[in-house]
Structure 1
Amino acid sequence: MDNEKKNNYLVPVFWGITVTGLIILLTMTAKKAFAAIVPNQKIRGCDAYGCGSFGASRGGRKHEGIDIVVSPGTKILSPITGKVIRYPFPYPGDIFYKGILIENEQYSVKIFYLNPTAIQNTTVKQGGVIGVAQNIASKYSPGMTNHVHMEVRDAKGNLLNPTNMFI
């Protein structure tokens, strides 16, 4: 009977320590590396053209980033301190819609649907203005929620889910 009492007593204590330890472990291992790129940042939900979450279906492929809801003309802030590498274009043959690629020793961040204001080959600070949001709904229709698209890769080029990486 003594052993049963010890076991009954130890199980709740064990679970309490495990859960607390797990919470601490998760808090310590979750990298919160990025600053919000707009105030009150929100990931685009689903609309007539799909969903803005990482991994959302895009027909035969998966969404490789997150879409952050913005109004056209909104100033976009850099999520990291890094060097502006280039200005990529999301659509082949369409130079109206633009992007920016910023890299540091840990991350490569590509943001589409903004007019870049940060100068190529210069360093931008985390939280500094890097561009102004474009009107992506004008390319599709008012059924598309206006947003900027953000993709993140690690230093080895592996695609990352940035959803929970914001400070």
Structure 2
Amino acid sequence: MDDQKKNNYIAPVIWGITITSLIIALTMTAKKAFAAIVPNQKIRGCDTHGCGSFGASRGGRKHEGVDVVVTPGTKILSPIAGKVIRHPFPYPGDIFYKGILIENEQYSVKIFYLNPTAIQNTTVKQGDVIGVAQNIASKYSPGMTNHVHIEVKDRTGKLLNPTNLFT
């Protein structure tokens, strides 16, 4: 093989590191901000009550979070390390459905449709059990895919699309 053909198969070297090894190293060390809240986490698609993606139409407004498919009774894990601020309610006047608000120096994460087990004003680690999924389909109909709803804001209060923040 002549020198011209050999050079086509040699990765470029920068400071003694090949581009390929640099890409592999960056990929392996890059960490997403959020841990999955359930094993095999999946965003709710569309069902008879709408779609679970960020920005999906909700009549005159947009969906401000993502819906993660769960089975009622599933343990929900904290996506971030932070402090449990409060246990909010998604529906005014309905105290059956509950949520949890966790904050740290970067994010504010609100998760609805779970019975919180993490106590208000305590600190949780990423991956700690923070609650148990409720049966949201019982409020709407069997046509609703059971899920928990996650909303994320940055430290300035700006609403974020959490889809790409998860590992």
Q: Same fold (TM over 0.5)?
A: yes
Structure 1 residue 138 corresponds to structure 2 residue 150? no
* Structure 1 match to 2:39: 39
* Structure 2 match to 1:159: 159
Whole-angstrom distance in 1 between the partners of 2:148 and 2:135: 9
For the 8 Å contact 1:38–1:76, the answer to whether it is kept is yes
Provide, for residues 39-85 of structure 1, a one-character-per-residue CA deviation record: whole Å limited to 9, x for no partner.
00000000000000000000000000000000000000000000000
Whole-angstrom distance in 1 between the partners of 2:41 and 2:132: 15
For the 8 Å contact 1:90–1:112, the answer to whether it is kept is yes
The Cα of 1:31 is off from its aligned counterpart by 7.2
Whole-angstrom distance in 2 between the partners of 1:88 and 1:142: 25
The Cα of 1:112 is off from its aligned counterpart by 0.1
TM normalised by structure 1 equals 0.82
* Structure 2 match to 1:81: 81
User: What SS class does the counterpart of residue 163 from structure 1 fall into?
Assistant: helix
Q: Which amino acid aligns with 1:151?
A: E
Provide, for residues 1-23 of structure 1, a one-character-per-residue CA deviation record: whole Å limited to 9, x for no partner.
xxxxxxxxxxxxxxxxxxx9xxx
For the 8 Å contact 1:102–1:109, the answer to whether it is kept is yes
Unaligned ranges ≥5, structure 2: 1-18
RMSD after superposition:
1.8
Count of aligned pairs: 143
Structure 1 residue 116 corresponds to structure 2 residue 116? yes
For the 8 Å contact 1:31–1:165, the answer to whether it is kept is no
For the 8 Å contact 1:85–1:102, the answer to whether it is kept is yes
* Structure 2 match to 1:50: 50
Identity, in percent, stands at 89
The Cα of 1:125 is off from its aligned counterpart by 0.4
Whole-angstrom distance in 2 between the partners of 1:34 and 1:99: 18
Whole-angstrom distance in 2 between the partners of 1:120 and 1:60: 34
Q: Which amino acid aligns with 1:51?
A: C
Provide, for residues 109-163 of structure 1, a one-character-per-residue CA deviation record: whole Å limited to 9, x for no partner.
0000000000100000000000000000000000000000000000000000010
Higher helix residue share: 1
Runs of 4 or more, structure 1, over 4 Å off, are none
Unaligned ranges ≥5, structure 1: 1-19
Q: Which amino acid aligns with 2:125?
A: K
Structure 1 residue 102 corresponds to structure 2 residue 102? yes
